[in-house]
A and B are shown apart, each in its own frame.
Chain A
Amino acid sequence: MSDDLVISDLAAGYGHQSVLHDLTLRAQAGRLTAIIGPNGHGKTTLLRAISGLIAVRTGEIRLGADRISGLPAEAVVARGIVHVPQGDLLFPDMTVLENLRMGAFLPAAARQEKTVLEEVYTLLPKLRDRENQIARTLSGGERRMVGIGRGLMASGRVLMLDEPSLGLAPIVIEQIYEVIAGLRRAGRSILLVEENAMRAAAIADQVHLLDHGTLNWSGTGAELSGRPELLETYLGV
């Protein structure tokens, strides 16, 4: 309860272009909340607004007692919101280990770096083998794993994952989603943005449909599966 991520009447966008409006959402602590919706309707913008990469125009974002909206990105992560961005945004000329260590850059995370690194290696054993490889030479699936591992290194309160299946082969998507399922079982608070609605519905506690910059439908994953007309209208499946 105290660590719920609460968004009220949010509006945000780029330059003169408004992308999100009247967006209200509660992502419960310890749950996996999924945001689905067609491309270009604001899913990534929502995560960028939460993490402070773009400015919030109106409305408010809170994590428990902390007001997050209005803070710059480096202050948001210090409050415990960790954003694993779309396309990974790794540090291309650093090794896998250096990338992971950057995840624990803030003093609070740096103090438990060694312990958390072991946890990350247990969860993503491939990263241990690739420890000294330069990030730009990794495959797409490995890069995704480094991105997620780097996010975990921050020991945050909420983990936001932007399209973790994007551009990966089906078998690799399977592996990535197994990792996410493991994080959910461990009781992590996760906010997942995903274009693949069925994938998200299968794993999420709560699903929200984002369409034209605002939430259009909310329910559980099972409820979404029982609404074929929604999927057809908004997602073309």
Chain B
Amino acid sequence: MDVFFQILASGLTLGAVYAISTVGLALVFGAMNMLNMSHGALMALGGYMAWFTMTGLGLPPVAGMLVAVLVCAGVGVLIYLLIAGPMLRSEGFETRVFIATIGFGAMLESVILMAFGPQPKPQPLAVQGGLSVAQVHLPVQNLLILALAMVLMAALALLLQKSRIGRAIRATAQNRDAARLMGVRVGMVYALVLAISGGLAAVSGITVSSLSSLLPNMGGDPMLKAFIICVVAGLGRVPGSVVAALFIGLFEAVVQYTVGVRFSFASLLLLVIVVLIWKPQGVFGRHQGVRL
């Protein structure tokens, strides 16, 4: 029974980390059909910004989080202004922006490498210590990550469902021309969506690095998993991707305990293959029927 709770706790933490990185990707894809391949580099940037603010400048953790989120949100806007915006009306937008963001991500990673060097650094924005409930040991850091993820998801859901700007985002996602006819400035919506996604990438980068360490290419692996989760959930389904992230976190924890850590990524990919055979549009996805 203790083992069960231990797996549950580590699985949920893993899922929460995945959820934060996945939701940013899903939001951008859902709103503008854009796969942002520089999401991983944004995660690394966020982690390093927190490190720089706290270790470099000696500021408190809140400042570290804030600077990381603001810088990455700003880079999100930059991605809109330099890449997505100019391409938006061109043919084959999805393919072009996919390739262009790979390039942007590589550049960003190189800048981080040049600025901070290739050696791993510890993430200062982390909490030591743990709680022991019965025989289950829970690191405080993991509990914080879980709580943070839940607060962020709830805030995002509230923003999308209840606010005026959230209605504009959903309208733009569902029908761009119709949204413009309602008076929605879709350029602003896209810039904002990329900024939110950038901010989420920063938080995600901080959580990932707090569980391991900072490296310029640390975003690659979590981004790959975030894409896998997006595909499993159905591309662009924001609430679905949260559920899928938690499920995959649990799945990975179970596999790691029962079969072994070295099989966890392989079984994850196997799961994706099975899901895509069973439901090619993703578990929560829908066929985009031809509109007449």
Contacts and interface: CB of A to CB of B under 8 A. Distances in A.
A53 B185 contact: no
B184 A105 contact: yes
Nearest to B174: A91
A89 interface: yes
A82 B178 CA distance: 11
Interface residues of A, number: 27
A169 B182 CA distance: 28
Interface stretch (B5-13, B147-155, B164-172, B257-265): B164-172
B192 to A, nearest CB: 15
Which secondary structure characterizes the binding site on chain B?
helix
A219 interface: no
A83 B175 CA distance: 14
Interface string B86-126: 00000000000000000000000000000000000000000
A105 B167 contact: yes
Given A90-B175, A91-B175, A92-B175, A74 B170 contact: no
Interface stretch (A18-26, A29-37, A93-101): A93-101
Interface of A: 51-53, 72-74, 77-78, 82-83, 85, 87, 89-94, 98, 101-103, 105-106, 150, 154, 167
Nearest to B185: A74
A89 B180 contact: no
B2 interface: no
Contacts of B185: 74
Q: How large is the interface on B (under 10, 10 to 19, 20 to 34, 35 or more residues)?
A: 10 to 19
Nearest to A51: B181
B183 A77 contact: yes
A93 B170 contact: yes
B175 A74 contact: no
A91 B171 contact: yes
Enumerate the 5 nearest inter-chain pairs by beta-carbon distance, A residue then B residue, closest first: A89-B178, A73-B180, A106-B183, A91-B174, A105-B182
Given A91-B170, A94-B174, A167-B292, 10 more contacts: A52-B180, A53-B181, A73-B177, A74-B185, A85-B177, A87-B292, A89-B181, A91-B171, A94-B171, A154-B182
B177 A53 contact: yes
A53 B89 CA distance: 12
A118 to B, nearest CB: 20
Interface string B166-207: 011011001101111111111000000000000000000000
A50 to B, nearest CB: 11
Nearest to B168: A105
